[in-house]
Structure 1
């Protein structure tokens, strides 16, 4: 008796623990109502690639700061402590010598090197900001693609569920006729097989939807088990902009093309930096030096300059690397090659941009035409299925006709939703190919930055 009670108590405890575990899992899976704008915003806020691009922008800000500060004054302090041995001049008994020099210097003329460095840093900062926009556009397009795929998978569930419901109703009709002996057993078996296939299709459709939601969660930075309730539907809004207009817009606004143009300008600035190696450099400098037996002062008792000094000077200094065995020339040639490469990359990007816009535009038009065709096919398939049902009920049609009509109806409905999906996806691809801005004013990047 005690053993029975113990087993019963153990079973109750295990059941309670399992209930708590299931409840915890249910609580852990968060539910969220979202539309496509919500998903895009979450992706922009959470994406690691965008955060990495922002870090590159911060680095460009400090590189610009470095270039500008290089043109300003610098303060340098040099100090040394030495132990002295051997015979000293004038029989001076000196064992230690300390020296300190404080100097302030500032470049006056660098042959254009500093100016070119600042120009390159300014251009690099703008290019970095454009790169952030390009990354955002890519993430937006990726999010839209994942969202539209999830919507299509949800629609395919609807199609599969309607197929199951339709075949179940037909199976009831077949069973009713079989019970009164008007149809053969083979009709029942064939309808049952078709129902099983439709149920398998429904299972597959639900799984595809779950996978699509998990992928969307990954893109927008949410836990994979988050239940997303998508508030949008795949629809058809005609696109009325011409191909030429789309192509020209992309040439003028695509961030990767703008960034490529900036890289050409940066390469040309690097040419000026390299060429400055053959030009003279002029610096202004003020310094104070003092040395002696004391760490921070001269020894007034010693008159020999070797042991005691307290001097200052100010003036200009010039250096000119007249001949460096053609090292500067080699750097200039490297910079010119880099400029040529940047120019060719910019041309290639423009050509690829035209191709991407044309491809997306043609895909969009093809999908639009497919929507109209698929919509007509759905209406005809519905009518054909009704006729097949009526003929079968009247005894003048076969069960195979009904099943074939139902299969065609399911295919037509699936094709219609696929066409809507292709249209919306192609529209998102076209927006990305054109460079539709997310949150950047592109006009300020179409001219070279002003010099401060």
Structure 2
């Protein structure tokens, strides 16, 4: 019975002394949450698809050294030749395949950015819910502690009145049973508070200290219909699904273009150094090389290209169905969140009225019990009903905040830029511009195990750069190839 209270006290002692606000918690989650950092790294990984696709039409330079030795009985210098040189290959024709791969890479980058938006929206909504849950569970602990205190006083009074014959042993037993039940509820509430704190630590990265009250709720769409329209226009998961379909379509086009063949210009230059021998007059010592053009076109591939095309078409078909499935899910989540918001508002109004009535009733029953017109069990029931209505209010206020931010998450508005959490925002376009047209061969990033700052926000960005589309855009599709640049 004492373990959980001790754990609660220890967690409070280990927590920061200053009070955190919801904005502080959201800022910490945005800047340090590892899941969000991993999503940023995934966008950088997708960025590399663009230079990889561009490399197929760029020159390729390689060096080589060739050593040959004719075999005879003594392996002497006769017939020994060494050639050192380099080779340059410039593709000049790929049948449009590279352009299709560039368009596919462009769409994959767009999908990765939308997945990053989706993760950011979810982390922020999760953090708001965790913050509200910590406040709610702590309030429930306080209410249950107060209930235990009241019931202990009630048991003491019942025992004193039993000693003088004013109440029966049954009344005392009822008070004892209700106190034991309240103590059990208190332990359960303390356990829920500890669980809520662990969720908060996972998201924010530090224990919750004294938390400030929840701020006013952000504005919402005027109706559920407006919310559904906005979700179809700007839900990150839905936009990502459309990008995936665009990438799949471009991959189909790229495979079909392989039938158009390829062509390249090759140039090789070297220096030949033959060794001496009995036929020294036949030696050739000096520059060797030449320029040639190679072209090839597949005529029969044993069904390979057809199979790969059908496979890519199946992937595109899957992506098309995923769009439809995601649209339905987004509409469902939007509607459910709206219903949860309206339900929580109604419960809050009812709970407040219930608290007022139960508080008045409990006071009246206590006074009537003192004059003998009410039994102890009626007093205990009135106290329990008051506690129940107070807990309902706490839960409803928590649910209202959680549902509000879940709605913002679905429609893509639970973002750092949209909420004004911080002016230090992560901009995925910075890395894209760095690598998009890079020609440098020996260019690597630092060891990821020692340099994790790349996954953190590192500079200011205008909120307009990440503003979702207007409500009038009902169906947002992927951009044209090259638009991400």
- What is the TM-score when the length of structure 1 is the normalising length? 0.82
Q: How many residues align?
A: 416
- Aligned residue for 1:56? 42
Matched-pair contact (CA < 8 Å) for 2:103–2:482: no
SS at match of 2:373: coil
Measure how far apart 1:40 and its partner are. 2.2
Measure how far apart 1:364 and its partner are. 1.7
Measure how far apart 1:113 and its partner are. 1.3
- Aligned residue for 1:259? 240
Distance in 2 between the 1:327 and 1:120 partners? Answer: 21
Distance in 2 between the 1:246 and 1:25 partners? Answer: 40
Aligned ranges 1:389-400 → 2 under 5 Å: 389-400=366-377
Measure how far apart 1:79 and its partner are. 2.1
SS at match of 2:347: helix
- Aligned residue for 1:282? 263
Measure how far apart 1:166 and its partner are. 3.4
1:420 aligns with 2:397: yes
Correspondent of 2:331 among 350, 354, 362: 354
- Aligned residue for 1:157? 141
Distance in 1 between the 2:390 and 2:224 partners? Answer: 30
Correspondent of 2:61 among 75, 89, 109: 75
- Aligned residue for 1:212? 196
Higher relative contact order (CA 8 A, sep 6+): 2
Cα deviation 1:162-221 (Å, max 9, x = unaligned) = 323433454565466556654445434433443343334333323322332133112222
Matched-pair contact (CA < 8 Å) for 2:59–2:88: yes
Measure how far apart 1:99 and its partner are. 2.2
Matched-pair contact (CA < 8 Å) for 1:302–1:308: no
Measure how far apart 1:227 and its partner are. 5.1
Aligned ranges 1:247-396 → 2 under 5 Å: 247-293=228-274, 302-303=281-282, 310-314=287-291, 316-396=293-373
Distance in 2 between the 1:60 and 1:162 partners? Answer: 55
SS at match of 1:317: strand
Matched-pair contact (CA < 8 Å) for 1:213–1:228: no
Measure how far apart 1:235 and its partner are. 7.6
1:58 and 1:302, CA in 2 relative to 1: closer, same or farther beyond 3 A?
farther
Distance in 2 between the 1:147 and 1:227 partners? Answer: 8
Farther off after superposition, 349-358 or 101-110: 101-110
Matched-pair contact (CA < 8 Å) for 2:78–2:275: no
Measure how far apart 1:121 and its partner are. 1.9
Measure how far apart 1:156 and its partner are. 0.9
Cα deviation 1:17-59 (Å, max 9, x = unaligned) = xxxxxxx999866545212222222223332222222222222
Distance in 1 between the 2:65 and 2:184 partners? Answer: 85
- Aligned residue for 1:187? 171
Distance in 1 between the 2:200 and 2:363 partners? Answer: 39
Distance in 2 between the 1:278 and 1:109 partners? Answer: 12
- Aligned residue for 1:447? 479
- Aligned residue for 2:84? 100
- Aligned residue for 2:439? none
Measure how far apart 1:231 and its partner are. 0.8
Measure how far apart 1:301 and its partner are. 6.1
Measure how far apart 1:348 and its partner are. 0.8
Distance in 2 between the 1:278 and 1:184 partners? Answer: 97
Matched-pair contact (CA < 8 Å) for 1:289–1:310: yes
Measure how far apart 1:291 and its partner are. 2.6
Stretches of structure 2 that go unaligned for 5 or more consecutive residues are 1-9, 418-465, 470-475
Cα deviation 1:125-158 (Å, max 9, x = unaligned) = 2222222221122222222222222111112123
Correspondent of 1:430 among 407, 412, 415: 407
Stretches of structure 1 that go unaligned for 5 or more consecutive residues are 1-23
Matched-pair contact (CA < 8 Å) for 2:246–2:478: no
SS at match of 1:231: coil
Matched-pair contact (CA < 8 Å) for 2:77–2:275: no
1:404 aligns with 2:370: no
SS at match of 1:70: helix
Distance in 2 between the 1:257 and 1:131 partners? Answer: 10
Matched-pair contact (CA < 8 Å) for 1:106–1:283: yes
Distance in 2 between the 1:237 and 1:289 partners? Answer: 71
Matched-pair contact (CA < 8 Å) for 2:261–2:296: yes
